[in-house]
Amino acid sequence: MVDVLRSGWLTTGPKVHAFEDTFAKYIGAPHAIAVNSCTAALHLALDAIGLSEGDEVVVPTMTFAATAEVVRYFKARPVLVDCEPDTLNIDPTGIERAITPRTRAIIPVHYAGHPCAMDRILALSRHYGLRVIEDAAHALPARYHGQMVGTLGDLACFSFYATKTICTGEGGMVIAASGEYADRIRMMSLHGISKDAWKRYSAEGSWYYEILNPGFKYNMTDIAAALGLVQLGKCEQLREARYRIAQIYDDGFREVPEILTPAVCANVESAWHLYPIRLAVDRLKIGRAEFIAMMRERNIGTSVHFIPLHLHPYYRSTYHYRAEDFPNASAAYERLVSLPIYPAMTAEDAHDVISAVRDIISSNYL
């Protein structure tokens, strides 16, 4: 970053291009375009497939705001689908039921870093002629049957937000399987202009440019890309550290029937971005909110991923969703708590969390 600041080239330039090339090679994808958020990446991906007003996109309810809001940018409809009861990933059976003649795409979210049932999702997309855009905001690095997540669909979007598995402050990456998508995304990410600033102002370039479309201002800076290159180099090591914490948690909660630990399918490798447990609130005197407050009193921060979209006022009132329409996500939501998981966490920290959880549970049996 200091080199970038001294170079005088602060915005999109050589570091961004190096970050894109390194990222594409790392996950084994033909095209990577760095942008300033995963939300921007999702917006550009939907633009690239030509989403239009009145179209429908199948989206999980168990996700963050970004996955569905980008569909609304096009006056298209996000059609929410319930999750699988074990992984909390989008349920392929629910996807098939949600498909109509207006459906254009599916956006599977690899929840908590655990890959979705991509074999079934890709089979559906082929059968119904739909595009698949992976929301891989949690899933760097994750593998599905040995293949890197982000290379499974037509397009994929990663996040380098402060809380994600690698971070550039704010940032994102779009992965495209085809050169046609990649060219469109590159052009639309910077004002719909035919050449980027680096080519325009560098010695070899020229002053001439053409506006081909009313595009967006979604380019990544070289300052962020310098951070990203260093972070990417540590990506496997950071995952390994999170995986070790997940194993300590799995062992520590094995004998605790009030805690349901995250499910892991065969032939996948999760990125372990989150460690969401489910509390058996029906066996306890306390609810989830009290549990979180008691953890807080012990100086342990937790969160909830996520409040399903169908329970939020906008989606409830716009599309008249009811909790009963999404039985798995609605039931999971009442019980979900994400425990701390991050690379700098020590084994001792993880054992402290386990003790706190066990202590709170054993003093609050019904």
List of residues contacting ligand PLP (CB under 6 A):
37-39, 63-64, 66-67, 109, 135, 137-138, 159, 161, 172
Amino acid at the residue 145? H
Q: How far is the CB of 70 from ligand PLP (least distance, A)?
A: 9
**Minimum distance, C-beta of residue 163 to ligand PLP, in the bound complex (Å):** 7
- Residue among 112, 106, 194, 96 nearest 155 (CA): 106
Q: Closest CB to ligand PLP among 159 and 258?
A: 159
Which residue among the candidates 15, 25, 164, 234 is catalytic per the annotation?
164
In the complex with ligand PLP, the residue whose CB is nearer, 144 or 161, is 161
CA 92, 93, 94, 96 torsion-angle sign: positive
Q: Which helix (H) or strand (E) holds 31?
A: strand 31-35
Q: What is the DSSP string of 50-80?
A: T--TT-EEEEESSS-HHHHHHHHTTT-EEEE
E strand or H helix at 277, and its extent? strand 275-279
Of the pair 133, 353, the CB lying nearest ligand PLP is at 133
Give the strands of the sheet with 336-339, arranged side by side. Answer: 259-260, 275-279, 336-339
234 classed as catalytic: no
- Crossing angle for the helix pair 38-48 and 65-72, to the nearest 10 degrees: 40
Least gap, CB of 67 to ligand PLP (angstroms):
5
Supply the minimum distance, in Å, between the C-beta of residue 42 and ligand PLP. 7
Comparing CB distances to ligand PLP, the nearer of 131 and 138 is: 138
Rounded CA separation 71/51 (Å)? 8
Q: Which residues participate in catalysis according to the annotation?
A: 164
